[in-house]
Amino acid sequence: MSTTTEESTLTKKDFVTTNDVRWCPGCGDYAILNAVQRTLPELGVPKEKFVVVSGIGCSSRFPYYMNTYGFHTIHGRAPTVATGVKVANPDLSVWMITGDGDGLSIGANHLLHLLRRNLDINVLLFNNRIYGLTKGQYSPTSEVGKKTKSTPAGSVDYPVNPLLFALGSEATFIARTTDTDQKHMVETFKAAQAHKGTSFVEVFQNCVIFNNKTFDSVTGRDVRNDQVMLLEEGKPLVYGDGGTKGIRLKGLNLETVDLDEGSNTEDLLVHNPKDPNPAYATLLAQMTFPTYPTPLGILRQLEGRETYEDSVVGQIQLAQAEGEGSLQELLTGNNSWIVES
């Protein structure tokens, strides 16, 4: 039991718990769980090093279904607990699961600070644009005018764009994927793990009960070829069946172009997630249907910023370079006096 499980021998089965999974039949969360359980065995990390931390929401039930160390915390605050775990033991592979309400409403402040501090944690934000667990109120990612039980006349607040939020927080890794694409999810999660620093992944997730088909206009089987643009590093921005359309810069804006046979692809933008200038990633993050195709993949990946935990540990190592402090000396200080008997 105590032997370290070798990475090569790990399979998806090792990460499945005996607990009954309690999401609604057809919920997108099942697909994400499956993708994560398929990803972890392939990362070369021993199973006992994984810790899954979540907040509260349907999505946040996730740790109960993962046969790893797990912590289902309180609403919105998972980033803080994940931070504590990672700083206490930087050797662990920490995965944080949150929802659009959990991560961008009650816990947005913590998420901001996690991202800017750049702990080496993988954050998966399940965006179903609704409060699932509390039975269907609109969320901060719901579109304006969303009619729900709490907004019978339509919601009036302007939504937050998770990718722009992450960009504003200067996250070093920002990606988007969708519950409808197993392969893309696994690839994205692997890239998130490979990145040293906080990896923020927005996952489009369908809530069959309270917000069914909210992403169908984008990722639906029949439309996705035309309305999704897969980002690949070093490749031009093209989409449409067989790459019939492309994206180029016009002034400070993006413009879609039809790529007729033999047309020039040279002025198309070439995807560079490593561009330190956030302008390009911002343009991508703002691309919304129906004006533009919806980008999926890694928008941004900056290397070189030290992680928070490394800095914390580094300062301690530096201070201890010439040995650890002596508690007796600390207590004695340099202003003590002796009282003789």
Partner 1 sequence: MSPSTDSFEEIESAVVRFAGDSGDGMQTVGERFTDSSAFAGNDIATLPDFPAEIRAPAGTLAGVSGFQLQFGSRKILTPGDEPDALVAMNPAALKANIDDLPEGGMLVVNVDSFKKMNLSKAGYEKSPLEDEDFRKKYHLIELDLTSLTKEALKDSPLKPSDKARCKNFFALGFMYYVYGRPLEPTLKFFNEKWGERLPDLADANSTALRAGFNLGDTMETARNRYQVSKAPVQAGVYRKIAGNEALVYGLVAGAKQANRELLYAGYPITPASPILEGLSALKKFGVKTLQAEDEIAAMGMAIGASFAGDLSVVATSGPGMCLKSEFIGLASITELPVVIVDVQRGGPSTGLPTKTEQSDLLQSLYARHGDCPLPVLAAHSPSDCFDCAIEASRIALTYMTPVILLSDLYVANGAEPWKIPNVSELPEIKIKFADPNQELVVYKRDPQTLARTQAIPGQAGLEHRIGGLEKSEDGGVSYDPENHEKMTYLRAEKINCIAKSYEPISVQGEKSGKLLVIGWGGTYGAISSATKILQDEGFSVSSLHLRHLNPLPNDLESLLSSFEKVIVPELNLGQLSTILKAKYLCDIVSCNKVQGKPFKVAELREEFVKHLSAN
Ligand X SMILES: Cc1ncc(C[n+]2csc(CCOP(=O)(O)OP(=O)(O)O)c2C)c(N)n1
104 binds, among ligand X, partner 1, ligand SF4, none (CB under 5 to 8 A by kind): none
Q: With contact defined as beta carbons under 8 Å apart, do 112 and 124 qualify?
A: no
Cis preceding-peptide flag for 90 (omega within 30 of 0): no
E strand or H helix that includes residue 164: helix 162-168
User: What are the distances in angstroms from CA 130 to CA 141, 147, 204, 213?
Assistant: 7, 11, 12, 12
Binding mask of the shown chain, residues 108 to 147, with x at each position contacting ligand X by CB under 6 A: ------------------x-x-xxxxx----x--------
Tokens of 122: 């993988």
E strand or H helix that includes residue 116: helix 108-117
Alpha-carbon distance 334 to 74, whole Å?
A: 45
Binding-site ranges for partner 1 (CB under 8 A) = 1-5, 17, 19, 46-49, 51, 53, 56, 63-64, 66-74, 77-89, 91-92, 109-110, 112-113, 312-313, 315-316, 318-320, 324-325, 327-328, 330-341
Alpha-carbon distance 218 to 281, whole Å?
A: 20
- Interacting stretch for ligand X, rule CB under 6 A, among 56-64, 164-172, 248-256, 266-274? 56-64
Alpha-carbon distance 151 to 149, whole Å?
A: 6
By CB under 6 A, name the one of 12, 14, 17, 24 that touches ligand SF4. Answer: 24
Alpha-carbon distance 168 to 112, whole Å?
A: 8
- Interacting stretch for ligand SF4, rule CB under 6 A, among 19-27, 69-77, 231-239, 310-318? 19-27
Number of residues that bind Mg ion (CB under 5 A): 3
131 is a site residue for ligand SF4 (CB under 6 A): no
The tally of CA atoms less than 13 A away on the side-chain side of residue 209 is 13
Tokens of 68: 């790893």
By CB under 6 A, name the one of 40, 175, 192, 207 that touches ligand SF4. Answer: 207
Number of residues that bind ligand X (CB under 6 A): 17
State the minimum distance, in angstroms, from the CB of residue 133 to Mg ion: 8
Give the strand order in the sheet containing 253-258: 238-239, 245-250, 253-258
Task: Write the DSSP symbol of residue 204.
Answer: E
Binding mask of the shown chain, residues 90 to 129, with x at each position contacting ligand SF4 by CB under 6 A: --------------------------------------x-
By CB under 6 A, name the one of 27, 33, 36, 237 that touches ligand SF4. Answer: 27
Q: Which residues touch 76 (CB under 8 Å, ≥6 apart)?
A: 55, 56, 102, 103, 105, 106, 107, 108, 110
- Interacting stretch for ligand X, rule CB under 6 A, among 16-24, 98-106, 111-119, 188-196? 98-106
E strand or H helix that includes residue 115: helix 108-117
229 is a site residue for ligand X (CB under 6 A): no
Binding mask of the shown chain, residues 98 to 127, with x at each position contacting Mg ion by CB under 5 A: -xx---------------------------
State the minimum distance, in angstroms, from the CB of residue 44 to partner 1: 15
Chain residues in the site for ligand SF4 (CB under 6 A): 23-24, 27, 29, 58, 128, 132, 207-210
List residues binding ligand X (CB under 6 A). 56-59, 75, 99-102, 126, 128, 130-134, 139
Chain residues that interact with Mg ion, rule: CB under 5 A: 99-100, 128
